[in-house]
Structure 1
Amino acid sequence: MKKKYILVINPISGDVDKSEILNKTLAFAEEFQVEIIVYETSGENDGEVIKTLYNLHKPERILIAGGDGTIKMVGEALEKQDVIFGILPAGSANGLAVDLNLPATMEENLAVAFHNHFMEMDMISINGRKSIHLSDLGLNAELVRNYENGSTRGKLGYALQIITTLTELEEPFTAKITANHQTIECTARMIVIANSQKYGTGVTINPNGIMNDGKFEIVILKNLDLMVFGKIITGNMPVDLEDVEIISTDKATITTTSPVSFQIDGEYIGEETHLDIRILPSQMKVAIP
């Protein structure tokens, strides 16, 4: 009997050629005596279809070719199953792959995805929605919104939208954060809710982030001038820690005085004034080098 793996491919994520990923995965699977069941996401009821496929085939592993959004969707669909996820980075935002130190080439990533070394990763619940990586209020969420509304994908799309986002820059917002039995008030350009360390560009926004320690961090970026934000987003500069405050906790609430743009794992959610946040320990088994 051949082992069965499901390969979930997001055909429109990022600017990577998916046919190459498919062909290399099938060739790799042949070598390992693994049968691959391929599912291409459509944006319609993907979670339900993936649940059905899982129940039908009972695969030993789920391979995901896409970005952070695709990984999160599959993780949520199969959160009750004891299965290892292998990640083949292929999105416009691959922050999780950066944080897991996944290798650069598809061949090396396939080797990681097929082998047995894994970690049990936490997730974060924010107003009942799951976050696996980095969510934020403020400037970066506005960038994500503009990117989703724009027509150009990939790195160029982000670069174009950085310009739009900065020209439409609004005043900093005021927030009240309650965590670890303390409440603080702050004025910020951006507040990050982080399970991990880095954005997909490779910039470390949360040096304390460990994805399986039962905690998340709230990173408050107080002063972000235009140059600094541009550098952070393009991955050219670490954040100056004088302008940053970091709170480590397992649950928190954030309330803002006015509605602020909010995104989860690269997906724009809308404007929010209240976030209820808590850690969900050991939610997902992910193959790592």
Structure 2
Amino acid sequence: MIHIHFIVNPIAGSGDNKINIKFLQRYFSKDTYVLVVKHSVYKKHAVELTKESIKEKAHVIVACGGDGTINEVASCIIDTSILFGVIPLGSGNGLASNLKISKNIEQAISIIKKQDVKTIDVGSFNNNYFFSNSGIGFDAMVIKNYEESNNRKLLSYIKATLKSLKDIKYDNEYNITINEENLVLKPFMIFVSNSNVLGYKVSLTPKASLQDGLLDVLIVSKLNFFKVVLFCLLMLFKKHYLLKEVKSYQTKNLSIYQKESNHYDMQIDGEHRIVNHSKIEFSIKEKTLRIIS
């Protein structure tokens, strides 16, 4: 018997998903599968539920939600033999888009049943993990404003972006070390990615791969208001690299240090987080998550 545990974020996306035992039993035969469905009710609850499922000897653990839910579940099962599945229910669904996992629940279930497995890289910083992307600066501000809107739709992203355009500040100077190059700047954005999709089919790192053993990094130095607007427009057409303030890198390691403050406003897989360190060390953990896709 194959034991599959589904960790469901009930408020992901539109918040009206239909994933429960009765629904899943239409697709998984009782003769072959043992199904368990768990619903998260608060932030980081999916971590606790996943650890329970590991103790309960689940063979497959499926994250049903957006990139934040994926992060909480997958962070617990890297470097294990457990297979990781995804049913994308979020608003952006960056990792699922990279893997071409459909937002159609029935199609996503069929992928899980086929169990075609690939082993992917995982991004890491200061003993935390990310699977799609992470960032400091403008994108973190957008996510923070988006979460405060309590509305998980594309229009909310647009409103959050416009608010962030008005509120952007260049207060802290960062020392960045990447590929033996040392940079000192007050950045518009430092974006570190493991996948090639940010969400809503938007990409800042179109050449990124989940299996190349490298992080794709975009460093954007200070922009005036006109160039911020231009950057946002160019980003929609994947032409943001045309600005001279935009530099792209591929690397295995990246360090960021600031002496003015001991915390960072970051976005990690599309969720806002405050990281209380003066220095952040990014690295790549190669081929450490077995994902069904």
Scaled by the length of structure 2, the TM-score of the pair is: 0.86
Q: Describe the shift of the 1:6–1:150 C-alpha distance in structure 2 as closer, same or farther (beyond 3 A).
A: same
Please show how residues 1-289 of structure 1 align to structure 2 within 5 Å.
2-19=1-18, 24-30=23-29, 33-43=32-42, 45-56=45-56, 58-171=57-170, 174-222=173-221, 223=223, 225-231=227-233, 236-243=236-243, 244-256=246-258, 258=260, 261-270=265-274, 273-288=278-293
Worse overlay, 182-191 or 64-73: 182-191
Shift of residue 79, structure 1, vs aligned partner: 2.9
> Secondary structure of the equivalent of 2:159?
helix
Query: Which amino acid counterpart does residue 246 of structure 1 have in structure 2?
Result: S
Superposition CA RMSD, Å = 2.5
Q: 1:172 to 1:219 in 2, by over 3 A?
A: farther
Deviation at residue 31 of structure 1 after TM alignment: 8.0
Shift in CA distance, 25/231, structure 1 to aligned 2, threshold 3 Å: farther
Aligned partners of 2:77 and 2:289 also within 8 Å: no
- Equivalent pairs, count: 284
**1:14–1:22 Cα change, 3 Å:** farther
User: How far, CA to CA, are the matches of 2:26 and 2:185 in structure 1?
Assistant: 53
TM-score, normalising length: structure 1 = 0.87
Could you say if the C-alpha distance between residues 149 and 279 of structure 1 is closer, same or farther in structure 2, counting changes exceeding 3 Å? Answer: same
Runs of at least 5 residues in structure 2 that lack an aligned partner in the other structure:
none
Q: Is the 8 A contact 1:21 1:106 kept in 2?
A: no
Task: Check conservation: 1:24, 1:107, Cα contact below 8 A.
Answer: no
More deviation in 164-173 or 202-211?
164-173
Cα offset for 1:60?
2.1
| Paired amino acid for 1:132 | F
Q: Which runs of 5+ in 1 are unaligned?
A: none
The CA distance in 1 between the partners of 2:164 and 2:40, in whole Å, is 29
Identity of matched residues, %: 23
Q: Equivalents in 2 of 1:31, 1:48: separation in Å?
A: 26
- Aligned-partner SS, 1:18: coil
Greater displacement, 134-143 / 213-222: 213-222
1:73: how far off?
Answer: 0.7
Amino acid at match of 2:291: V
Tell me, in whole angstroms, the C-alpha distance in 2 between the residues paired with 1:86 and 1:118: 9
Shift of residue 219, structure 1, vs aligned partner: 0.8
